[in-house]
A = this chain, B = another copy of it.
């Protein structure tokens, strides 16, 4: 089994999406470039949503024009509907990450569409790509471990959506613990169940640390064979359903855990910690990641 774990940096998108301070596109572009310098090869950088609804994500066109097509870097745009897909294609995004909610309760409140309607949209987008071209498509199944409106989400619900996605010939499928409620035992079972139905399509996992289980869930995923994980520098981000809670698992915490155990990530821990403090200064909020507070171990040679 490979010792390389690919970390998809989502700080500029998921990380900033729930922050109170709304950054200018130029600052977000600088964040992405600083993360490039940390070694990030894949970054989710924009969300093709309505900037009137999500002002934190304004300037997607400007950003992607500046960022897409960089050699050896993949810039991912989040897509919630066909309009978003058209914007991703027009902007020449390197990848499109299409979200399908596992529950109707979350889907209708968050994207104005039921889970089934979102699957139909995904199929329409995949067909459009087949006919007209466009970037590779990832599917992210959100609220895959629990929903703030519908409560528990069953493995069957998640597996069914993954199976539909797999039939569409997608480049990657991801399970997202959007509100941070998963435990590592369930993660492991769900990873195994989904891998059975998606065959060779790579599985990515996306964890929030809302209830302090995010790093344990990442560990359980790797133990179950997952080799692609989302994380955000500094543990940026929050949860609109738990205002005091923390956000995505921190990139530097994940890198620390993995590299301490002999995995490779291609990321520079020291630079990540610097970047966590830099972006913390920009949004006026100290980073919450453990590494940004405690530093690496053993201490790097001076």
Contact = CB atoms under 8 A, between A and B. Distances in A.
A186 B261 contact: yes
A184 B244 contact: no
B219 A294 contact: no
Contact of A244 (B185, B244, B253, B293): B293
A216 B293 CA distance: 18
Interface in A132-183: 146, 151-152, 179-181, 183
Interface stretch (A17-25, A106-114, A205-213): A205-213
Contacts of A220: 219
A136 to B, nearest CB: 31
Interface in A247-290: 250, 253, 256-258, 260-262, 289-290
Interface residues of A, number: 41
12 contacts: A181-B260, A183-B258, A209-B212, A209-B290, A211-B256, A211-B257, A211-B290, A211-B294, A212-B257, A216-B257, A242-B294, A242-B295
A209 B256 CA distance: 13
Interface in A47-105: none
B298 A146 contact: yes
A291 interface: yes
Nearest to A218: B216
B213 A290 contact: yes
B245 A180 contact: no
Nearest to A152: B298
Contact of A183 (B183, B184, B260): B260
A253 B185 contact: no
Contacts of A184: 216, 219, 257, 261
Interface in A196-226: 209-213, 215-216, 218-220
A45 interface: no
B293 A245 contact: yes
A246 B293 contact: yes
Contacts of A32: none
Contact of A215 (B213, B289, B294): B213
A210 B297 CA distance: 11
A213 B290 CA distance: 8
Contacts of A194: none
Given A184-B257, A213-B290, A246-B290, 19 more contacts: A146-B297, A146-B298, A179-B297, A180-B290, A181-B260, A183-B257, A184-B219, A184-B261, A210-B293, A211-B253, A211-B257, A211-B297, A213-B215, A216-B216, A216-B218, A216-B219, A242-B293, A242-B294, A244-B293
